[in-house]
Structure 1
Amino acid sequence: MTDMAHNGTTSCTLRPATAADSATLYRLISALAEYEKLTHLVEATPEKIEQALFGERPHAEAVIAEVEGGQAVGFALFFHNFSTFLAKPGLYLEDLFVEPAWRGHGIGKALLRHLAALAVARGCGRFEWSVLDWNQPSIDFYEAMGADVMPDWRICRVTGDALTRLGSA
């Protein structure tokens, strides 16, 4: 599937990622982690990405944004969740990233619109994601796209040894 985003002279193509994109996804994920000052948390490798997204049981999907010449400059990684209240699947955007040099060209908007259309086509009742509270440019961008930032909700996370302990209790 190909979508085009145009803004001035810049156009981009959105396409589903394939196993051959694992190294590209790793590069973009690493750039995202650097932007968010979270490089110390990255355990991903191209091999882990390939297995998780394109292995026997894929856990997520990704869309690659390419500019003229096939240069990958952004991505969105997402998966389905489920709303018990709606009794419908949802689409959860885990990460959206556009390289800083390519921001302001409509690529982030194109990725969000593409995923919203995908959520509608798949019968999802909602499309949601999280944003870091310090990332005001992203918050402003998401609100301008029609998203509600939900201040009353907090993410709960259990990882590492705490996850092991909880799972063995």
Structure 2
Amino acid sequence: MLSSHGPWSGRFGVKLSDLATLPVSSQFVLLKNFTMKFRIRAARETDCIDIQRMIMELAVYEKMADQVKISHEELQRDGFGPNPFYQCFIAEVPEELKSEEGKGVGKALMASVARVCVEQQCVRLQFSVLDWNKASLDFYMSKGAEDLTMEEGWHVLRFRDAALKKLADEAP
């Protein structure tokens, strides 16, 4: 999911300052180096129930289910309205592959996001990974990602709920 803000920003997000508005394409992404029987395509508004479900599944995996506050209606509004906040890819995977890891689906999704970034002349692709998720860290590092925590000492910060409202109240 490419996003500029919202509860999903950072997760495969591209910073808004680094890109122009991304056009939402309904065409399938064709990947030369992947031979598995799955397709990567741009999300449609009708996918939002499944997108919300997958956000929750990821949050459960990350032990952060209590932090998910977005509904499929908000995903529809924010992703498919006149000024979309995000662009999302969907992997259509045959039932027999759904329970198997290492079949190239994640790699294909990441490559699809990278392709859009390159096509839109983005200067970087930036996202977050939990420190205990070694498999994901190893995967991204094997693809050439840089760990800014280790290399540059960056910390990811956020304002939410009461702290965000309090800060907003300080605006002139």
- Partners in 2 of 1:164 and 1:113 — Cα distance? 37
Moved over 3 A (4+): 4-7
Distance in 2 separating the partners of 1:104 and 1:55: 35
- SS of 1:129's equivalent? coil
Q: Larger strand proportion, structure 1 or 2?
A: 1
- Unaligned segments of structure 1, at least 5 residues: 74-98
CA contact under 8 A between 2:79 and 2:87: conserved in structure 1?
A: yes
Alpha-carbon distance in 1 for matches of 2:82, 2:155: 33
Quote the residue 1:105 is aligned against: 103
Give deviations 1:2-47, integer Å, cap 9, x for gaps.
Answer: 225745xx42100000111111111111111111111111112111
- TM-score norm. by structure 2 comes to 0.74
Q: Would the aligned equivalents of 2:34 and 2:108 in 1 still touch at CA under 8 Å?
A: no
Q: Distance in 2 between matches of 1:54 and 1:36?
A: 27
CA distance in structure 2 between the aligned counterparts of 1:159 and 1:67, rounded to whole angstroms: 35
Q: What letter corresponds to residue 21 of structure 1 in structure 2?
A: D
> Would the aligned equivalents of 1:6 and 1:12 in 2 still touch at CA under 8 Å?
no
Higher RCO (CA < 8 A, seq sep 6+): 2
Is contact 1:13–1:65 with CA below 8 Å preserved after alignment?
Answer: yes
* Amino acid in structure 1 at the alignment position of 2:94: E
**Structure 2 spans left out of the alignment, 5+ residues:** 1-26
CA distance in 1, matches of 2:106, 2:157: 27
Aligned to 1:105, what secondary structure does the other structure show?
coil
Q: Could you list the per-position Cα deviations for residues 32-81 of structure 1 after superposition, in whole angstroms to 9, with x for gaps in the alignment? A: 11111111111121111111111232111100001137x9x8xxxxxxxx
> Percent identical across equivalent pairs?
33
Give the RMSD, CA atoms, in angstroms: 2.0
Aligned to 2:167: 166
- Selected match of 1:44 from 55, 64, 70: 70
Paired residue for 1:12, among 34, 38, 51? Answer: 38
